[in-house]
Amino acid sequence: MRGFAGAAKRADPVKTDESANLRETIQYMLPYLLAYRGHVLMAILALIAAKATTLLLPYGLKLIVDALDGNLQAQITLPLLLVIGYGSLRFASVFFGEIRDALFGRVTEHAMRQVGLNVFKHLHQLDLSFHLDRQTGGISRDIERGTNGISFLMRFMMFNILPTLLEILLVAIIFWSLFSFWYALTTAVAVLAYIWFTVKVTEWRNKYIREANQADSSTNSKAVDSLINYETVKYFNNEAYEAENYDRALAGWEQAKLRNRLSLLALNSGQALIIALAITVMLLLAADGVVEKQLTLGDFAMVNAYMLQLFLPLNFLGFVYREIRRALTDLENMLGLLKRRPVIADAADAQPLQLADGVIEFKDVHFAYQAERPILKGLSFIVRPGHKLAVVGSSGAGKSTISRLLYRFYDIQQGTISIDQQSITELTLDSLRQAIAIVPQDTVLFNTSIRENIAYGNPSASESDIDRAIELAHLRPFIASLPQGDQTLVGERGLKVSGGEKQRIAIARVLLKRSKVLVFDEATSALDSHTEQSILQAIREVSVGHTSIVIAHRLSTIIDADQIIVLDQGVVIETGRHDDLLAQGGVYAAMWALQQQETTVTLD
């Protein structure tokens, strides 16, 4: 299927206008070369052997032609041995070249593995805002092209460009020493003209390569986005609409590829003309030498063989240069990803969290996703050890923001957030996040088995620990009802299990993580009343002995909380226990009355 790409609704946030720098790329690749010094050295030796035998081939051809020339039969009496020697040289040039490729292949494959791993790890270090904006399909294409570009640059720049230039120089020296200055001058002029033309035209057509890459990534993003939202497409009968959008994106890709192909036609045609003119001039000089009895037929054959041998790598040099420019263009986005520094990172003097009681304190916290729209305005509260704090309020009041700030997905603009009197900005992210376990409103599962999804909470957990987590999360009856038990696949994003079962799996994960602080971010808001009560029972059981924060929409789920705070536009307007807040007759009491009325209407 062509490209899986599409006109995305907005520009890919990782695109950059900053061209990939060749020197920077070489510096980036150097550690991978040094990691396999032995392989690289042996590959260089094989390269030298391959080039030496290649340069001897035309001279061997000259000897054979002269040996077969009747006029020179007396001088050369062993044409058969010369033919065998020529064949041996031909084999040796290919054989040493294959050895070189095999040795250096190990280096490039290791580099691709390490680069891919580095980018993958780096993406996981980037902040939440980046991942909310990113387009998965486009980024995966950027990484794929980038790693392939690294491989190409390492292989061809190190083992083709420099050797080809060296070969051109040696051929010019041979022509000058065996024939005349004009042969060397013709060779030098042709090579310089070829390189100049290739560089200029390649720079011109580089913009068309860029356009084609952008169209490819964009089309891929569109297709992936549409397929991920398969159910939404079906709900609104928008299959034709999605196909039309995708086709428009493909049409843009098609036009970009057409412009790219036409510019390549101009480049290849110009290169072919330069090569044809140079060979014609050289053969005219050689033919004149034969007519004047200054050269033999073997010399004529040698000139022709050297010119063909010269322009084959030169033509390849043009291809390599074009591909290097393309590889550098492909690397732009991937290197742009690697250059992007995480907004949320460990401070230089960050220390591991010294967890004791698990006291959480928000003190005069101010926060805004965008400066013009503040979310929290001086929020302050304390959660005592082993206590449960409930946070309620209308949509947009800032409830879920509290869990994101505590987990340091974002940093606050003013105030402090601390655990056991240690500011979270002074702690290592790993130790902070290890101390907190979250059950989100929308639990997303990996497309693996139920058991593997539970074990994700602690990949090193024993089988008995996983079984215990299953029991505590009340998952055993559900698992027992499945033909494949806990080996049942949950589908992409967990679409094959219900909302209640997904939440139970999330709770089991939390149990395996064994964190002191638990956060339940509207974990039951999308569930029916019966499922909600069973999930609440599981939450109450796992919360015993833990400091917990419950962000709730349904007030019936938090009546047992040790403290409830009511948020309105980022400000605490009421605080207390359930009965106290009802007695106050304020906002919480009004919310309770409204929800009780809605429940009664539903039951009726």
Predicted confidence at residue 564, as pLDDT, reads 94
CA dist., res. 148 & res. 145, Å (int): 5
Predicted confidence at residue 278, as pLDDT, reads 84
Predicted confidence at residue 497, as pLDDT, reads 76
CA dist., res. 538 & res. 543, Å (int): 9
Q: Which residues pair with 419 in a beta bridge?
A: 360, 422
- Cα 254 from chain centre: 25
Predicted confidence at residue 554, as pLDDT, reads 81
CA dist., res. 456 & res. 454, Å (int): 5
More confident residue, 529 or 544: 544
DSSP 155: I
Predicted confidence at residue 16, as pLDDT, reads 39
Assess whether pLDDT exceeds 70 at residue 600.
Answer: no
More confident residue, 223 or 352: 352
| E strand map for 326-399 | 360-370, 373-383, 388-393
Predicted confidence at residue 116, as pLDDT, reads 76
What mean pLDDT comes out for the span 475-491?
A: 85
Give the other-Cβ count within 10 Å of 95's Cβ: 14
Reported as a single tens digit per residue, the pLDDT across 137-163 is 567 767 777 777 777 777 776 666 767
What mean pLDDT comes out for the span 184-206?
A: 82
CATH class of 360-435+515-603: alpha beta
CA proximity to 248, closest of 13, 15, 10, 8: 8
pLDDT band at 70 (very low <50, low <70, confident <90, very high): low
Tokens 């008995």 found at: 464
Percentage of residues in the chain having pLDDT higher than 70:
85
Assess whether pLDDT exceeds 90 at residue 458.
Answer: no
pLDDT band at 529 (very low <50, low <70, confident <90, very high): low
φ/ψ of 349, rounded to 5, equals -110, 25
Predicted confidence at residue 4, as pLDDT, reads 35
Most confident stretch, 35-39, 90-94, 388-392: 388-392
| E strand map for 285-359 | none
Predicted confidence at residue 39, as pLDDT, reads 78
Assess whether pLDDT exceeds 50 at residue 15.
Answer: no
pLDDT band at 45 (very low <50, low <70, confident <90, very high): confident
CA dist., res. 202 & res. 320, Å (int): 11
Assess whether pLDDT exceeds 70 at residue 572.
Answer: yes
Average pLDDT, the chain: 79
CA dist., res. 597 & res. 552, Å (int): 18
Give yes or no for a contact between 478 and 446, defined as CB atoms under 8 angstroms apart.
Answer: no
More confident residue, 435 or 268: 435
More confident residue, 265 or 528: 265
- The string over 178-217, giving b where at least 16 C-beta atoms fall within 10 Å of a residue's C-beta and e elsewhere, is ebeeebbebbeebbebbbebbeebbeebbebbbbbbbbbb
- Residues near 507 by beta carbon (within 8 Å), at least 6 away in sequence: 439, 472, 473, 535, 538, 539, 542
**pTM > 0.85: yes or no:** no
What is the residue type of 267? L
Reported as a single tens digit per residue, the pLDDT across 285-309 is 888 877 877 777 777 777 777 777 7
- The string over 241-279, giving b where at least 16 C-beta atoms fall within 10 Å of a residue's C-beta and e elsewhere, is ebeebbeebbebbeebeeebeebbeebeebbeebbeebb
Q: Where are the domains of the chain?
A: 22-339, 360-435+515-603
Report which secondary-structure segment, H or E, holds 417: strand 414-419
CA dist., res. 133 & res. 535, Å (int): 32
The superfamily (CATH) of domain 22-339 is: ABC transporter type 1, transmembrane domain (1.20.1560.10)
What mean pLDDT comes out for the span 214-236?
A: 80
Predicted confidence at residue 185, as pLDDT, reads 85
